[in-house]
Amino acid sequence: MSQAESVYLRPIAFAASPQSEDGRCVRLGGSMVWASRFAVIHRRDGRVVSAERYSAPDVAQALTVLPEALANNAEAQWKALQQVHAPIQCGERTIRFDQPQVMGILNMTPDSFSDGGAFMDDPQVAHDHAASMLEAGASIIDVGGESTRPGAAAVWEGDELERVIPMVERLAAMGAAVSVDTRRPAVMEAALDAGAHIINDVSALRYDPRSIELAARANVPVVLMHAPGDGDDLHSGGGYADVVLDVFDWLGHRRDAALAAGIDKANIILDPGIGFGKTLAENLALLNALPLFHALGQPIMVGASRKRMIGALSNEAPAHARLGGSLMLAARAFDSGVQVLRVHDVAETVQSVHVWRGLRDAALTDFSYLPD
């Protein structure tokens, strides 16, 4: 068997509840989403050579006929798809992964694509905005001091520290669960010292080799996001053979690198990096394939809020006018079992989570499928 061969288990059909399929389905990633059919995809040298489809009860047997190396990997993915993820502890707050959690974005930058500059000049305004997101139901506040939009200039480390650390201190004093959105180890360390609980690195701990060592020592949750570029330009170097499978493989490699560096498996969250070095078609393909990423065995985070793709699909609507599209993409993520949604519009997204959860609860208690 060629070393360039790989296998993937992609959920392709879903059930409203286990009883609707008489139990012939599996729960994805400990979420409230059940999958009833799967494609077993075989790839060789970057090309898909087969995609066989199976109902959930038949998958385990189907994997036994694969070549040994592929079978072992496929069996690990089958187990990972069904893994229930333990909650993470962020100070006094417990973040559970059995339903979608909303992460509110707080950009302490002058040039972010959506709300750059709105919270920099007056710390009280930023504080009040963060408080309103928490009151609206945000589970986590993600504080960033550097724009990562295409073409944004790199920020000097001292400026990033000055933007981020005072707000992290304020949020920690409020008892919030705080994530720091940075790729610089000095900012990570200072933010953790100031009370942050999570590291959210858009470079997946690649930008500075010291970051992965720091994350392992700190023993805190880390978000590893896919971006094709190195250095300051994270958006360059796409060129995917198959964007879904390439991003899946890439995230698997970064997960393995984190584990090898001593980061606890329970502390790793993966993000497919919507909008980072991807075309509209590639972003749409990733969003449609989100259930596949449960096969990596980690909680999934998605950040598609107000992104350029929404404007591209809606007469070039500006960033502040993309609420409808943002909620549609959030719903897609909910239906895929995604555990964390990173958003600008917290109150509206939390409301959509509540309604989605109501629909799921109703399906779980609907026994009309059962015989009298």
Comparing CA positions, the residue from 158, 152, 160 lying closest to residue 111 is 152
Identified catalytic residue from 307, 308, 357, 360: 307
Q: What do you get for the CA distance between the two ends of the chain, in Å?
A: 52
CB 180 within 8 A of CB 168: yes
Distance, in Å, from the CA atom of 132 to the CA atom of 200, rounded to the nearest integer, reads 22
Q: Please give the structure tokens belonging to residue 100.
A: 């979608």
278 as an active site residue: the answer is no
Residues 6 or more apart from 68 whose CB is under 8 A from it? none
307 belongs to the catalytic site: yes
Distances (CA, A) of 297 to 10, 197, 322, 339: 13, 22, 32, 12
Per DSSP (E only), the strands in the chain are: 5-15, 26-27, 34-44, 47-55, 88-90, 93-95, 101-107, 140-144, 178-181, 198-201, 222-225, 268-271, 301-302, 340-343
Greatest Cα-to-Cα distance within the chain, rounded to the nearest angstrom: 69
Q: Which residues are catalytic?
A: 307, 342
